[in-house]
Structure 1
């Protein structure tokens, strides 16, 4: 877009540059029905899909990858009220979790196709429209059916975290304290929230997420049981004054990190070859270092800044709390290089919860899980205006070593243990104040109804404030997201005028106006963050548009600009862009001597001044809104373009890849990059082996066809029955070993599980000889493989084998290979791009819902469970809407 023609409200396409990120992120979820080997051990049932249904397992004896992948947590972190921490929460890479095939088909059949994303320019909030429609329906007496009462005799015994009752606010809450549903004469306000009795749920319409199949009927009692009702705040009338966030608020405070347990006396730090006894506090800090000696922490232990900062703090703890040798003499620890933590590491690693739980029996694991849930239960939920709401980060961060992001100057410093005396509690006036741990007291208790946090404290590294907030799926967070995206939609009414004005100001005689116009151009066209001043002694030196310095841009005539700086979270922004001649001339002017390295490019502009100017166009408009607008608008435009793409009529996996491709372009626009995962190559190899396994299975099936009807070789051609080029003899031998090990593991686990069940029922377990008898099947399979390798012939498997059945099995295998190859391409293309950040924070979730409906894709394949809960408002608002557009 030229500076003289700015009537188009589309952002410029991302310029080609040195740092453009690679393609799209893999849907980590390959179909769980896909395996690489035989069907049902040594027999193939050709009447059913060609899969044994077993999950791939890694082997210790051979170098085969584990084909099962774990899922990453994608829980959103809270926004701070004052000093705002990073709100761009990275989600799991597994954004497209697989669902059962039958569920997917059933869901797809119910989806109604929508018209194009730009079929309407109606900007009215959907919540208001649907609420109005609902009110009309209720007045007409149609479609609104009362629900039967839910009988729950045991609800009083259930903790808040597990109650089946969901309270719903119906408009402005009453100022009287009735929201917790407890009668005054029977008040249990002294009891913890998790033990209090529950009120009967309010009557309301059926939840959008509720299906008829979810309703179970007890014929003997004639009671209808229904899932928890969601609080549909989006259907309520908009309050004129929303500064008051709550009328009543009850919670149980925060969960502190467990106390430190000292090491046994025989486990000591070795300093300069001699054992040293550390004071308990110093020993705990030493364990912080030990915890970094494995996994991703190892790289930090080699970092000079990290080592220096750690040893500086560790030395202070040693001086304060002591270190003595075997004779009780004081030891002066002067060098980290002379410290040997190996003995401490061996003990710590052996006693780590992860290591202990790995080999625990199932019953003990479940017992440990239950103890953990019971410990957390009082803190997981609060009562917000009488509604049970999930709390996001109720745990106080444990002490440890600060890692920071990028080249942070304080990495390696000790994060001290947070004590109750540092914590401020925010709670309702009439609510019972949570009890602090024994022997402690809270720093302060307040009743700020305009604050959305429950607890707050200040950490010791940067002096930042940490807040306990409601979960991302809560009503208050949902309302915040809704307002943010509606504000971005509103910007399209003003964007033409804004662009016209800043284009005019690019040639202003006032230098301040010219700098502001140039900054707005860069923010609008390149989706740069505005940037703020930082204390570089305590924080990494990251910058945004307004804080760009002389050395961060390089000019190349006639109009190319190379940006090279560290952005938010120390992510490098390295791009070469083409700008308009006027912008290029301005940047050259802003770098004119006597400016030099370290000087600001925009020395007459601050972020506050820029946002104040933007606010004059539209209330609440800031530079960040431009970023959200451009990201969502770009996504809407790209998704619209898919309408004429032939691939959009392909398989669900192909459609998901198209969606991820669009998401990737937005992520690149917003510079949402990430370092290539250290395990990326290994993961790609696993995926490649899965594909090869299916090809090998397909080859075996073709050989069975030849065994039944040799004349097929002439009909199909000899080449059709040959091995794929990427399946060599060495790989086949390894794969057969894998299949044998997999079958052995399956049989052994099934045997152990059956024995556990027998022991639970107090029955006599099966003897080991039964297991040996079952394992004979593995030996038979081994013999079959050896015979096949020698004769190059495969005996037919399955009941009633026919060529037709085998051909259908090959077709199914071809489909599964295609799905995995699409996933592999998606993953490899996305190795350097973080899709989740833009999906969580910048792309209006309603665009994803529209895409899901239009292209008949289950929403579960586009948004994982956490995001579906976070954006339930978007899913519900568009349930019956066919004409929404960003």
Structure 2
């Protein structure tokens, strides 16, 4: 991304504000119940060298994951329907789409009469609302309760970004810290006596420890993992080691993997899943409440008197390591963690928490220079794992803001850096020439710096660890990259490079074998040390963040339609996000459900067209002159007789299913109230009504006529058709956007590399609701970014 936009960098003082708080915070109860929150980021990955390493004492920082598996779903406002108006779609008028799946993207504001306007001008007081009874009254009470809770949460938010912030260093990060440790999963519960794995066709009586490991594999029996040779070999090696310590009670000697049959276990797990799925809504709610009650004490901590949410407080249960790509250790057994494996970090004066399972902590520290609450070393890759505060916490928010501010600071240095490495591409000192070429790739292609890997790690590489086999030269100036990047995601790119860079690569490859390092005189440490001579804290990763955000800003500025619809602007935003994802190699495999999802969208689009067709036919029945108008005369595209019949059959099945579910819920509620359930005859009558309605639709096929339940003036029907035209146009744009992004992970760059203030400013400038682009999780993660105005630029 050559060339930097000349812009004034906002100082930390200007960003953070000058106000200081003098009010003493009230220490809240950390046992308050709340919804659980999964961590958004992964702990730092350590190198595996076969030896257990001590975690670093200072400046431990949680590293964000560079790859996301699924995209952040677009937040859509929910539309409430009054109780009296709730009815099945089959009994609704053809001009109204009552399906939950077909809600409009934006709810039109109700029009006010002149009388009401005049009345409002006479008095500022709101008119009294009509009394609501029954379920509607309960909904109002629930809505008011939610609003009060939300208002209280907003008041409780600690706006750290409005306070004066200290520079990031080895200084004290907190004064007091209280928490309840980590939450260990419940102990293993043995399977029923009749559920046993088989060996050579005979059931094996395993002790609980060995049975648990066998169950890990049994649960995955129909997954892709069990088709992998490496996965199977590693699992069986761990299983055999476990059997040596906990041998079968019946004396069976298990020595061959192919003789093992885990099918009985798999079938048991599947039946248990089916039972959970079949639970009633009340039973599921009760089970969730019980789970939340157990986890509630661990969800929050008290940091300097403020209640803060903890991120990944749950200790991961034992299982089989999955890994990504061709990881050499996939299938290895992950041991069950116990308190003796965990070191906690807490304030000196705080009460030391007791683990929720038997045992004592490995160690208790009071290190105020780090931000982790607990750490341990996992057994598979010997990586250090940490428990940090949640993404929306003050410490994590400050870290995020400083990261993006550092990337913005790079704007004032990048021209000088680019000039220097361009000059060094021709230097006679080979080390500097290699370093300059590596910097060229990091800057232009946003490559990761890359670290050396051991034999126990996946063979993934970055810029500094590229081997000769990963690069192919194609005259006159094309370079083809082909290697496995982070998380074993393939990076393939054919790019045009400067003539001098092409010449350098040819020189670096001379006399080397395919497995030799391309940059044999440069490593990540040397490169980052050189970068820090230009700017404090500058690393190759800062370049990646800078180029991602800078590219994103440029794409938005040039690609956003000034007078486009909201959906057209959203498509422009997602296109800019895709460009960054491609630049950063945030690829993903096409989701297995993509075709199914697109199929549902096509069915939904067909439903819109069917609805429009019925409205047209209703117009024809009222006045035949509409048949001569071009706007209404042409039939809907892709909607033939077979398509109409298929749509009506699917629609009918959905309506019958809705009737059945509603009947079941009504009976469940009656049972809770101790009343007698409704007779099955009522359900049959409701189904019969649906059947009757669809018989009428079948008779109307091919007649170009449609009847409506209630008469409507032609103006209203025309208005409904216009709304459907807009809805169809918007939905087609959504489908195009979904198809274009099927192989790109948009969430990764949005979470880790794109300054969130770019998105907030863009939304304000273009009148796009931020909820369309940021999920609730991201809104919680980036509260500090919401303060910028529409003119803010990266």
TM-score range, shorter chain: 0.7 to 0.9
Indicate yes or no: 2:68 matched with 1:90.
Answer: yes
Q: CA deviation at 1:753?
A: 2.5
Aligned runs of 1:700-711 on 2, under 5 Å? Answer: 700-711=614-625
| Correspondence for 1:695 | 609
Which of 395, 404, 407 is matched with 1:485 structurally? 404
TM-score normalised over the length of structure 1: 0.75
State the distance in 2 between where 1:300 and 1:811 align. 51
| Greater relative CO (CA pairs within 8 A, separation 6+) | 1
Q: CA deviation at 1:799?
A: 2.3
User: Which SS does the other structure have where 1:431 is aligned?
Assistant: coil
User: Which SS does the other structure have where 1:378 is aligned?
Assistant: helix
- Structure 1 gaps of 5+ residues are 11-72, 110-210, 218-223
Q: CA deviation at 1:287?
A: 0.5
| Correspondence for 1:733 | 645
Q: CA deviation at 1:344?
A: 1.2
Which of 272, 275, 296 is matched with 1:351 structurally? 272
Which of 265, 285, 291 is matched with 2:193 structurally? 265
Question: Which string of whole-angstrom CA distances, capped at 9 and with x for unpartnered residues, describes residues 116-149 of structure 1?
Answer: xxxxxxxxxxxxxxxxxxxxxxxxxxxxxxxxxx
Indicate yes or no: 2:556 matched with 1:639.
Answer: yes
State the distance in 1 between where 2:161 and 2:372 align. 21
State the distance in 1 between where 2:157 and 2:672 align. 38
| Correspondence for 2:219 | 291
Report the more deviating stretch, 751-760 or 685-694. Answer: 751-760
State the distance in 2 between where 1:308 and 1:283 align. 18
Which of 422, 443, 452 is matched with 2:341 structurally? 422
Q: CA deviation at 1:273?
A: 1.4
The answer as to whether partners of 1:704 and 1:797 remain within 8 angstroms in 2 is: yes
| Correspondence for 1:315 | 240
The answer as to whether partners of 2:626 and 2:633 remain within 8 angstroms in 1 is: no
The number of aligned residues is: 692
State the distance in 2 between where 1:7 and 1:597 align. 34
Which of 525, 529, 533 is matched with 1:616 structurally? 533
The answer as to whether partners of 1:74 and 1:866 remain within 8 angstroms in 2 is: no
Indicate yes or no: 2:172 matched with 1:244.
Answer: yes
Q: CA deviation at 1:101?
A: 7.3
Q: CA deviation at 1:293?
A: 2.2
Question: Which string of whole-angstrom CA distances, capped at 9 and with x for unpartnered residues, describes residues 475-532 of structure 1?
Answer: 1111000000000000011111111111111111111111111111110001001111
Which of 15, 32, 40 is matched with 1:76 structurally? 40
| Correspondence for 1:335 | 256
User: Which SS does the other structure have where 1:638 is aligned?
Assistant: helix
Which of 515, 524, 527 is matched with 1:598 structurally? 515
Pair 1:824–1:723, CA change in 2 (3 A): closer
User: Which SS does the other structure have where 2:754 is aligned?
Assistant: coil
The answer as to whether partners of 2:761 and 2:791 remain within 8 angstroms in 1 is: no
Aligned runs of 1:339-738 on 2, under 5 Å? Answer: 339-352=260-273, 355-535=274-454, 537-593=455-511, 595-642=512-559, 645=561, 648-716=562-630, 719-720=633-634, 722-724=635-637, 726-738=638-650
Q: CA deviation at 1:359?
A: 1.5
| Correspondence for 1:746 | 658
Question: Which string of whole-angstrom CA distances, capped at 9 and with x for unpartnered residues, describes residues 835-881 of structure 1?
Answer: 11111111110000111011100000011110111111001x21xx3
State the distance in 2 between where 1:469 and 1:99 align. 32
The answer as to whether partners of 1:108 and 1:857 remain within 8 angstroms in 2 is: no
The answer as to whether partners of 2:762 and 2:790 remain within 8 angstroms in 1 is: no
Q: CA deviation at 1:723?
A: 4.7
State the distance in 2 between where 1:97 and 1:663 align. 17
State the distance in 2 between where 1:587 and 1:241 align. 39
Question: Which string of whole-angstrom CA distances, capped at 9 and with x for unpartnered residues, describes residues 316-360 of structure 1?
Answer: 222331125xxx3x22222222222111111111123xx333221
User: Which SS does the other structure have where 1:533 is aligned?
Assistant: coil
State the distance in 1 between where 2:496 and 2:342 align. 50
User: Which SS does the other structure have where 2:224 is aligned?
Assistant: helix
Q: CA deviation at 1:716?
A: 4.2
The answer as to whether partners of 2:608 and 2:728 remain within 8 angstroms in 1 is: yes
Pair 1:226–1:513, CA change in 2 (3 A): closer
Which of 804, 808, 814 is matched with 2:715 structurally? 804
Indicate yes or no: 2:184 matched with 1:256.
Answer: yes
State the distance in 2 between where 1:239 and 1:609 align. 29
User: Which SS does the other structure have where 1:804 is aligned?
Assistant: helix
State the distance in 1 between where 2:659 and 2:316 align. 42
Q: CA deviation at 1:569?
A: 1.0
Question: Which string of whole-angstrom CA distances, capped at 9 and with x for unpartnered residues, describes residues 400-430 of structure 1?
Answer: 1111011000001111111111000110010
The answer as to whether partners of 1:254 and 1:395 remain within 8 angstroms in 2 is: yes
State the distance in 1 between where 2:261 and 2:640 align. 47
Q: CA deviation at 1:258?
A: 1.4
User: Which SS does the other structure have where 1:831 is aligned?
Assistant: coil
Pair 1:717–1:407, CA change in 2 (3 A): closer
Q: CA deviation at 1:216?
A: 10
Q: CA deviation at 1:83?
A: 8.8
User: Which SS does the other structure have where 1:278 is aligned?
Assistant: coil
The answer as to whether partners of 1:657 and 1:826 remain within 8 angstroms in 2 is: yes
State the distance in 1 between where 2:602 and 2:630 align. 27
Q: CA deviation at 1:442?
A: 0.7
User: Which SS does the other structure have where 2:158 is aligned?
Assistant: coil
User: Which SS does the other structure have where 1:520 is aligned?
Assistant: helix
| Correspondence for 1:235 | 162
Q: CA deviation at 1:653?
A: 1.3
- Structure 2 gaps of 5+ residues are 7-36, 45-58, 81-103, 111-143
State the distance in 2 between where 1:746 and 1:687 align. 20
Pair 1:396–1:285, CA change in 2 (3 A): same
Q: CA deviation at 1:107?
A: 12
The answer as to whether partners of 1:9 and 1:496 remain within 8 angstroms in 2 is: no
User: Which SS does the other structure have where 1:637 is aligned?
Assistant: helix
Question: Which string of whole-angstrom CA distances, capped at 9 and with x for unpartnered residues, describes residues 181-200 of structure 1?
Answer: xxxxxxxxxxxxxxxxxxxx
Pair 1:716–1:862, CA change in 2 (3 A): same
User: Which SS does the other structure have where 1:600 is aligned?
Assistant: coil
State the distance in 1 between where 2:61 and 2:398 align. 21
Aligned runs of 1:80-119 on 2, under 5 Å? Answer: 80=44, 82=60, 87-88=65-66, 90=68, 92-100=70-78
User: Which SS does the other structure have where 1:563 is aligned?
Assistant: strand
Q: CA deviation at 1:8?
A: 4.9
Pair 1:97–1:7, CA change in 2 (3 A): closer
State the distance in 2 between where 1:397 and 1:416 align. 10
Give the helix-richer structure, 1 or 2: 2
Q: CA deviation at 1:793?
A: 4.5
State the distance in 2 between where 1:438 and 1:723 align. 64
Indicate yes or no: 2:214 matched with 1:305.
Answer: no
Q: CA deviation at 1:214?
A: 5.3
Report the more deviating stretch, 376-385 or 759-768. Answer: 759-768
Pair 1:226–1:287, CA change in 2 (3 A): closer
